[in-house]
Amino acid sequence: MKYQIEHLNVLNYEAPVDQSLNQIRLKPRTDECQRLLTYRPEITPVSLTKEFSDLWGNNVESFFIAEPHKELIVKSTSVVSIQKSPFIRMVQFSDEMDKIFKSDLFHNHYLSFLNDTDSTFLTKQQMDEANAEIGEESNPVEYMLKVMNYMYEKFTYDPDATVVNTRATEAFDLKRGVCQDLTHVMLGLLRAKGIPSRYVSGYLYVGENSALVGDSATHAWVECMVPGIGWTGLDPTNNVEALEQHIRVGIGRDYQDVSPLQGVYRGGKHTLDVKVSVTLLEQN
């Protein structure tokens, strides 16, 4: 599958800003299943960018605007190809995989994706409530699939229920939210069982007749580390494995690690408008 993605961010300040320092994470990743073919950022006022990789391997572009401006426009255009086949439901969790999963080496290697953050933390009462529905499971692969199904069955996709800073504890009690909230709650449940799990930000191609649901701007889902298999994407918003329609941009412990646009400036309040379009160019 080959896609073109256009991502437009428009920041309007209530008063002129005399300078601002910004970072963007909009460049899709390249890995064994996804290939970035072209990428073009456009920034107004025109600025030079400096690229670097952050701690999680995400591409970051930073830029400084020294001149007064009342509007900042960041547009990125990318072309990506994806080739991936479903497999997680076919995985037989072997004794050897279980031995690796329970080893100190495995635990220590993925420690960053086992510790909760403020965004993914759930209380013991919430954990008990969820596990009473999910049930006990000694097979991590089956458990992560059950958690994904639990999220899909118990939570309602509601763009008006939460805000960008809503934490997992709040979304859990509401049983509502967007893909970001469902991802944070699922991360909390998986990490409590010792399953290394990370936050993925990107885009979802929903097509004209698709039953998939996602934010109008960007999408988020979970990746779990399966011994001997690698990182496996699970989308709790749609109860599906992340495959050819999920375009990966950033990974991290939670949303705070992968926010598409971050910055500091001297001035008053601002508003942000975001528009994203994902166009299918070629189908396998």
pTM above 0.75, yes or no: yes
**Percent of the chain that is helix, strand, coil (3-state, to 5):** 25, 40, 35
Q: Cβ neighbours of residue 55 under 8 Å, at least 6 residues apart?
A: none
Distance separating alpha carbons of residues 61 and 58, to the nearest angstrom: 10
Task: Give the model confidence (pLDDT) of 206-229 as tens digits.
Answer: 876 566 666 556 899 999 999 999
Place of tokens 């991290």: 252
Q: List beta partners, residue 68.
A: none
Q: What's the pLDDT at 154?
A: 97
Distance separating alpha carbons of residues 261 and 244, to the nearest angstrom: 25
- Domains located in the chain, CATH noted: 2-82+260-282 (2.60.40.2250), 88-257 (3.10.620.30)
Q: Which of residues 267 and 21 earns the better pLDDT score?
A: 21
CB 134 within 8 A of CB 143: yes
Residue 182: DSSP 8-state: H
Q: How many residues does the chain have?
A: 284
Task: Give the model confidence (pLDDT) of 83-138 as tens digits.
Answer: 988 889 888 999 999 999 999 999 999 999 999 999 999 999 999 999 999 998 78
